[in-house]
């Protein structure tokens, strides 16, 4: 079990989360202030421009504009206090010709504020700009004056103090200086709380994973999360991984136990036979018989080890062979006419080809026929069929033995499985042959099923993908 270390209150992941949250918040605050200042500037200047335009129109309404002169017809507008002194909202008026000569100016223009005239710009349309004079921010509008014939003879320059924007900007800065630290602290604590809350399920996962070992694989992660949620998917993925690990460990333990047991039988027989030989002097015939028994048990061990190696290679995802072989010839050449007292009857359609490993499929044929012989009464006939359709190849082995219970038809393909019926009638075996058959067939992409034979016995039916060979 991994060593458990004391977890810090602020882990590196939580620190990164807090830093990211605060950084994003500061970025949003800065962006918000920039937008707020830009929008405020636009709104205030739009209002100022409307006021300047309105006052300029009233001034122009009291003027008579000619090609050679501009005459004031109505002095009432220019005599207002906003044009004569510095009020809360003063207006500074200058009318000048294209050469920059001042033709008319308001009374308050004589005060220290001097607004320069712009003779370089055309000002064919109403134009507005900001000016800063002696630390005072002004909003200035330029309005061209035309005669009735359309000749531009002068520029009306009208300015006012832009105090509102400066006031709003000061308030925004003051707000940020006083409230921003408080907000940052609140965001910091909120980030810690949210981070701890978000990482809590992951910590639970870690605690559960720490409990799991090779001797204790039953623990599973239990957190309340939707299967489509990230935490739900992590939970289900890890639980699935733990399920597979538990299954593999159990299979490995079972495999080791069964393999040791199955190898122990022939090894015990070999040891017993050797002890029998060495106990006293034997005749030549007795020595020969003992050697035959030793050879038989050695063959059994070789068969067990060979089968285990084959199953082990399949567990390592061995790639399927892409060779093509004549299945008809393979079955005929590897099937004897007689095994013990059983006759093997072949019904083989010639020249049927399949794709796969010929040596491995020969083991399939051998194991199925040996299985049929093993579970059939003496002198019974074992029938082997091979036929082809347009899409599939069917290989079938039929016997007239004891049959297989429906509850055992899937279990018999498990490694080392021995049915209770076979144990009762004393049929010897290792429970590996049919497991090897299933393994090889899965590798080849083939299917196998078991049907009952009538009136007794079983049918092992294998279906493979047909292969067309052009002659």
* pLDDT above 90: residue 313: no
Q: Residue 1 — pLDDT band, cuts 50, 70, 90?
A: very low
Domain stop point among 248, 281, 315: 315
Instruction: Say whether pLDDT at 170 is over 50.
Output: yes
Residue 124 DSSP class: -
End-to-end CA distance of the chain: 64
pLDDT for position 387: 93
Q: In this prediction, what percent of the chain has a pLDDT beyond 90?
A: 16
Instruction: Decide if 224 is inside a domain.
Output: no
Name the token pair of 34: 């920039």
Please give the tally of structural domains in the chain.
Answer: 3
Mean pLDDT confidence for 34-39: 87
Output the pLDDT for position 112.
59
pLDDT tens-digit map of 186-221: 888 888 888 777 777 777 777 777 777 656 677 777
Single pTM value for the model: 0.45
Confidence label for 41 from pLDDT (cuts 50, 70 and 90): confident
pLDDT of residue 282: 82
DSSP one-letter code for 406: G
Q: Does 395 have pLDDT greater than 90?
A: yes
27 lies in the same domain as 164: yes
Sign of the CA dihedral running 303, 304, 308, 309: negative
Q: Are residues 450 and 354 in the same domain?
A: yes
In which residue are the tokens 């044929």 written? Answer: 365
Judge contact between 18 and 191, C-beta under 8 A: yes
CB atoms within 10 A of CB 239: 16
Of 258, 289, 315, which residue constitutes the final position of a domain? 315
Calpha distance 172→37 (Å, rounded): 8
Q: Please state which of the ranges 53-57, 100-104, 288-292, 423-427 shows the lowest mean pLDDT.
A: 423-427
DSSP codes, 213-264 = BTTB----------TTSHHHHHHHHHHHHHHHHHHHHHHHHHHHHHHHHHHH
Contact predicate 430/255, CB 8 Å:
no
Q: What is the residue range of 78's domain?
A: 15-169
* 139 found inside a domain: yes
- Residues 37 and 81: their CA atoms lie apart, in Å, by 32
Instruction: Return the number of other C-beta atoms located less than 10 Å from residue 52's C-beta.
Output: 22
pLDDT in tens, 348-367: 999 899 888 888 888 889 88
In this structure, the answer to whether residues 127 and 249 fall within a common structural domain is no
**DSSP-assigned states of every residue in 67-85:** SS-EEES--TTTTSHHHHS
Residue 349, φ and ψ in degrees, nearest 5: -75, 130
């Amino acid at each position: 079990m991994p060593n458990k270390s004391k977890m810090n209150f602020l882990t590196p992941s939580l620190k990164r989360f807090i830093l990211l949250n605060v950084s994003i918040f500061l970025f949003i605050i800065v962006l918000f202030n920039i937008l707020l200042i830009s929008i405020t500037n636009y709104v205030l200047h739009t209002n100022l421009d409307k006021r300047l335009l309105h006052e300029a129109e009233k001034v122009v309404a009291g003027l008579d504009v000619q090609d050679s002169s501009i005459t004031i017809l109505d002095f009432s507008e220019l005599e207002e206090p906003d044009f004569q002194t510095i009020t809360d909202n003063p207006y500074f008026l200058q009318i000048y010709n294209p050469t920059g000569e001042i033709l008319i100016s308001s009374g308050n223009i004589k005060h220290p504020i001097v607004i320069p005239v712009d003779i370089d710009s055309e000002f064919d349309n109403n134009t507005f700009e900001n000016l800063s004079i002696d630390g005072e921010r002004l909003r200035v509008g330029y309005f061209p004056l035309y005669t009735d014939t359309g000749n531009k003879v002068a520029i009306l320059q009208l300015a006012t103090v832009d105090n509102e924007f400066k006031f709003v900007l000061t308030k925004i800065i003051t707000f940020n200086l006083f409230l921003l630290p408080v907000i940052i602290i609140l965001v910091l604590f909120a980030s810690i709380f949210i981070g701890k809350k978000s990482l809590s399920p992951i910590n639970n996962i870690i605690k559960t994973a720490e409990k799991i070992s090779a001797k204790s694989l039953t623990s599973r992660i239990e957190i309340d999360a939707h299967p489509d949620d990230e935490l739900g998917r992590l939970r289900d993925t890890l639980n699935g991984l733990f399920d597979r690990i538990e299954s593999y460990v159990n299979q490995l333990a079972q495999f080791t136990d069964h393999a040791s047991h199955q190898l122990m039988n022939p090894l015990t027989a070999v040891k017993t036979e050797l002890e029998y030989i060495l106990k006293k002097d034997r005749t030549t015939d007795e020595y020969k018989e003992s050697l035959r028994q030793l050879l038989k048990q050695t063959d059994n061990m070789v068969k067990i080890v060979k089968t285990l190696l084959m199953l082990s290679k399949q567990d390592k995802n061995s790639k399927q062979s892409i060779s093509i072989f004549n299945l008809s010839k393979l079955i005929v050449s590897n099937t004897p006419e007689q095994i013990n007292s059983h006759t093997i009857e072949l019904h083989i359609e010639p020249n049927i080809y399949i794709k796969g490993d010929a040596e491995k499929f020969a083991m399939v044929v051998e194991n199925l026929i040996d299985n049929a012989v093993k579970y059939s009464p003496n002198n019974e006939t074992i029938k082997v069929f091979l036929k082809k359709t347009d899409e599939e190849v069917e290989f079938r082995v039929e016997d007239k033995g004891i049959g297989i219970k429906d509850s055992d038809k899937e279990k018999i393909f498990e490694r080392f499985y021995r049915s209770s019926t076979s144990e009762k009638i004393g049929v010897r075996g290792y429970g590996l042959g049919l497991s090897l058959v299933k393994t090889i067939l899965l590798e080849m992409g083939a299917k196998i099923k078991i049907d009952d034979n009538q009136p007794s016995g079983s049918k092992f039916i294998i279906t493979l993908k047909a292969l067309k060979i052009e002659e």
